[in-house]
Amino acid sequence: MTNTDNLFCYVHPNRPTTLRCNRCERPICAQCAILTPTGYRCKECVKSQQKKFDTALWSDYIVAFIVGAIASGIASVLVMIVSGFFFGLLILFIAPGAGAVIGNLILRFIKNRRSRLLFTTAAVGIVVGGIPALLIYTLPAILMIFSGSLQGLGVLLPAIWQVVYLVMAVPAAYTQISGIRIGG
C-alpha cells in the first residue's frame, strides 16, 4: 500500500482526500482546495501568492497620486499649447506616449512596487492633474453659454483635445505601471 491511498487533508486530518496542492504538494480536501488558473491550491499558498503581487506601501499611494497629478498637469499644458498653436490632431500621436512617460515616472517613484489599488490611484492622479487645463478651456465657454451666447460652443471645442489626451494617456500610463498582464 503506497501512502497516496491514505491522504488526509492537512487542515482537516480526519478527511481522506485524493487532492494535493500543486504548489506545496500537501494533501487538501475539496473544501480547502481553491481552483486557480494553474490548478488546485491550498488556501495558504493562494494567500502567500497574493501577498507577493501586493507590495505597495501606504506612502506609495500618496506619491503615485501626486507624481501622476503633477506630470499630467504639465502634459495637459503641453496639450493646450500644441492644440492651440499647432495642430490638434497631433494629440492623437502624443497622448499615448505622454501616458507611457508619466507611467514610467510614477514607476520610478514607487520603485516598481505594485497593487491594483495603487495603479488605480495613479490613474486618478493623472485625471485630476488634467482638470485645471480642462477648466481653463471649459469655464469661460460654459459662462458664455449660460449668459446666452452660443459662441461658447465654439470656444468649448478645444476642450475636446484635453479630453482626448486624458482618454488616451490614462490607459497608456496604467498599462505602463501595471505591466502587460491582462486584468493586472
Q: Which residues sit at the interface with Zn ion, rule CB under 5 A?
A: 9, 11-12, 21, 23-24, 29, 32, 42, 45
CA dist., res. 153 & res. 48, Å (int) = 55
Smallest separation, CB 2 to Zn ion (Å): 21
Q: Where are the alpha helices (DSSP H) in the chain?
A: 43-53, 58-85, 90-109, 116-146, 152-156, 159-178
22 secondary structure, DSSP code = T
Smallest separation, CB 41 to Zn ion (Å): 5
Coil, helix or strand for 34? Answer: strand
| Closer Cβ to Zn ion, 41 or 114, answer by number | 41
Smallest separation, CB 36 to Zn ion (Å): 10
| Closer Cβ to Zn ion, 21 or 118, answer by number | 21
Instruction: Please count the other Cβ atoms lying within 10 Å of the Cβ belonging to residue 38.
Output: 9
| Closer Cβ to Zn ion, 36 or 104, answer by number | 36
| Closer Cβ to Zn ion, 15 or 113, answer by number | 15
> H or E segment at 147?
none
Smallest separation, CB 136 to Zn ion (Å): 56
CA dist., res. 19 & res. 29, Å (int) = 6
